[in-house]
Structure formats: C-alpha cells, structure tokens
Amino acid sequence: MRRAEAQNAGILFLALDTYGRIGGIQRFNQRVIAALAEISSDKGWTRPAVHVMRDGKADIPETTAAAIRAFGPRRLDFVVHSAVAALNCKILFLGHINLLPVGLICKLLSPRIKLVLFVHGDEVWNDPAYRRMRFYEPLMARALSRIASVSAFTASRMQKAFNLPAETFTLFPNAVDGIDRKPVQETNRCNILTVARLDRQDRGKNIDALIKAMVLLKRRNVECILRIVGEGPLRSELVSLARELAVEERVEFLGRASDARLAKAYAQASLFAMPSSKEGFGIVFLEAWLHGLPVICGTQDAAVEIIADGIDGYAVNPWDIEALAAKIATLLADPDMAAAMGEAGAEKVRSRYLMEHFKGNLEKIIAELP
C-alpha cells in the first residue's frame, strides 16, 4: 500500500464461526483479530471491524481490542452490514473461501478496497473428499489482491486448481503461544501421543496407521502405549480396529481433554505422531515441540515444510506401516536423541512460529498490498 493510505487504513475482517467452536481455523481467526488490533493500535489506526457469521453475541469475549459483531444465523444481515462497513475500509480480510462472494460484493461497491483471503488447507485443494471448488470461485478469486496461505503446499494446490498467478500468493504461517514447559513426569511406560478431533473428515490424519504400527511394535516386544486424545465419530471405528488387531491393551482413548489434561498427556509422552496426509500446515507439531517432544509426520502434505527429517522429527509415508513402526521404535530406544530432536523443534517454534512472528508477517502483508 502507498504510505499515505497505510497511515489511515481502515480494516474489516469477515470470518465464519470464531469463538463458538474449537478448532484450528477458529484459533487462527482469533489470532488474526488480536494481531490486527495490535497493529492498528501501534499505528494509530481506528480499531479493526470484525464481522462473524454463525457465532452468537454470547460467544464473543467482552474484552477485545477489535469491534466485533456476531450475526449468528442471520446471513443476509451479515452480508448487508459487511457491504456497508466495507465502504469505509481500505482493506478487507476474508477468513474463508466460502466468504469470497461477500468479498466480491464489497469490492463491487467499493472498487478501491484491497481483498486478502486467508487459506488453510483442504478447503481450497478442490479435493472431493473434503470440498469441491465452486464453479464461480476461480473467476471471483481474480478480484483478490493477495491470498495468504499457511503453507507453500496449500498455495501450490490452490494455484493449480484455481488457475491463479503465483504472485497472488504469499506465505503466512500459523503460530502458537509460548508455554512454560512442565517438568517431565516419571512414567514406567513409553507413550506415543496423537491429538485429533476424530471427525469423519479426519480419516486423512491416518490414526489407523498408528494402530496398525502397534501390531508390529507388539510383535517386536517394543513396550509402548498409543494414547489418542480426541472425541468424535471416528473413535468407535478406531476402537474396533484396535480390538480386531488384538492391540487394544496398547491403545488408550483419552477422549476430549481440557487444556490441563492435555498438557499432562504431553508431559507423559515420549513422542508425538500423526502420519497425516491432509495437513494444510500442521500446528499440532508446533504444540508438541513446545512440550519438548520429537514428532513423526506424513510425507504427503504440508507438514514436511515444517519438520526437518532426522533433525527435529521424522517424516514417514503414512501408508508404509513398517517404516512408521521403525521410526517409533528408533525414538523410543534412544531417549537422548529423542530429547535433542524435541528441543530442536522447540527452538524452531521460538524462532519462527510465535505470535510476534504472526503479527510481523501480517503487518508485512498489509504494507506490501499493491
């Protein structure tokens, strides 16, 4: 943006459910709101306006530095009020591809506004297993000034599916909040931890591969327990699989965990594993690193952009159960190496993926808008 414009930037952020549900995109939206509020305060701009579809008024926190309006199920009100608010804004951020039509309406009413779309992963891959691209979206996407993608993997897949120029995309990684790591609690077992919501669309996280790997580890007399945090429709399938493979005594389902219980599970773990093939970024690996754990990811998605194979974790083909079991066994057999990998990951998070980096990257996007 030109300097004179930037000094008086009015910012509007449109998002789907943000405070009323728990999930990766919801946490991302909350982080965007906090960063935009800080940036606006630092520069003396007016408070950013935020319109949230689906959330109710009761979902919105009372203390916030942004002007947030929740519209619940009132979609028409959301569109109308967003279009009116956009008339006084220079930058419009869209939190999801589903909001692209609303962004276009705002652009038609206020042609000088700059549109920035955040993209996360499978919602823009045009993969029928997750979400098909709408026929009108490639044309609408041409109105965007920038597409801020959490990974090069997601940017590449969207660019190909939507036939968009590469220069439209900019890398905008996710982030986590730093923690005070708790002392490792003594345990007589080697615990492999994985965390997922266990929704039906989470099959691509390939937790079943971890259960199958437990069969090989049992056969080789590697003493360990797979602990699965999460609750959802997939749980019953995974329970049945563990029973069918006769490893139910080696698989623990912890259900949905509070922050304190989850922190305890991390503290009791020897490593974190999720050989996913559907990660648009892989924030769970950052969280595991903050707890000092080495990680195992899949080779078929964006996680390999974050994890340095053999340095802070291992990247394994999620369908190669033999290799997956071997890497788990390697980490369990060498606690010193595992600890060094976990610390290397923690240092990577501290140097690249905290809120200060998220805010700086967002500020850079704003400054570089054409």
Q: Do domains 3-175+354-367 and 191-352 have the same CATH topology?
A: yes
The 10s digit of each residue's pLDDT in 150-179 is 999 999 999 999 999 999 999 999 999 998
DSSP one-letter code for 121: S
The pLDDT assigned to 6 comes to: 41
Helix segments in the chain, DSSP class H: 3-6, 24-43, 75-86, 100-109, 137-141, 152-162, 207-219, 234-244, 259-267, 283-290, 303-306, 321-333, 335-352, 355-367
- The domain ranges of the chain are 3-175+354-367, 191-352
pLDDT-based confidence at residue 23 (cuts at 50, 70, 90): confident
Whether 332 and 250 have beta carbons less than 8 Å apart is answered as: no
Q: pLDDT grade, residue 3 (50/70/90)?
A: very low
Model confidence at 259, in pLDDT bands (50, 70, 90)?
confident
Confidence band, pLDDT 50/70/90 cuts, at residue 370: confident
- pLDDT tens, 95-126? 999 999 999 999 999 999 999 999 999 999 99
Query: Across all residues in the chain, what is the average pLDDT?
Result: 93
The dihedrals phi and psi of 195, each to the nearest 5 degrees, come to -135, 125
* pLDDT tens digits along 270-281: 999 999 999 999
Q: Comparing C-alpha atoms, which of 290, 312, 315 is closest to residue 301?
A: 315
- Start-to-end CA distance of the chain, whole Å, equals 5
CATH superfamily for domain 3-175+354-367: Glycogen Phosphorylase B; (3.40.50.2000)
Domain 191-352, what fold? Rossmann fold (3.40.50)
User: What's the pTM?
Assistant: 0.92
Distances (CA, A) of 172 to 18, 114, 116, 127, 161: 19, 17, 12, 22, 20
